[in-house]
Amino acid sequence: DAEITQSPRHKITETGRQVTLACHQTWNHNNMFWYRQDLGHGLRLIHYSYGVQDTNKGEVSDGYSVSRSNTEDLPLTLESAASSQTSVYFCASSGTRGSTEAFFGQGTRLTVV
C-alpha cells in the first residue's frame, strides 16, 4: 500500500545546529507540504512543493528550507535550530487530479535545547 513516512519520529538537537527532517511518499503525488504544530495550536504551513524543482514559502517559512529533487521526497532543513522551532512537524502529500485529499505522515517531534 502507498504511504507517507517521516523520520525520525523524535529528535533532540542543540541550538544552532542544522537539522534535516525526512519525508518520503509512495503515492507518486506531485504536491508535498510541511506543517508545524505547537502545543495546543493548529497546523501552520511552512513550505510546499507542487513538483520536482518547485518550492514555495508558506505562512511560517523563516529559518526553514526545502528542496525537491525527486517526486518521493521533500526534506525539511532547519538551517540553525532555535528553541522557538521546538514543535511537532507534519509532512503531507496530495495528488493533482480532481479534488483529491491529502495524506499526512505520523509527525516528527523536534526538541531544540
Any contact of residue 98 with another protein (CB under 8 A)?
yes
Residue type, position 96, single letter: T
In contact, 113 and 15? CB cutoff 8 Å: yes
CA distance 3 to 15: 32
Tell me, what amino acid is at 21? L
Q: Is 45:60 a contact under the CB 8 Å cutoff?
A: yes
Q: Which three cell numbers stand for residue 20?
A: 534535516
Q: Specify the stretch interacting with another protein by CB under 8 A; choose among 8-16, 61-69, 70-78, 95-103.
A: 95-103
C-alpha cell at 57: 514559502
- The distance of closest approach from Cβ of residue 16 to another protein in the complex, given in angstroms and rounded to an integer, is 27
> What is the x/- site pattern for another protein, positions 62-91, by CB under 8 A?
--------------------------x-x-
The window from 7-15, 62-70, 77-85, 103-111 that contacts another protein (CB under 8 A) reads 103-111
| Residues lying near another protein in the complex (CB under 8 A) | 30-31, 33, 35, 42-45, 48, 50, 58-59, 88, 90, 92, 94-107
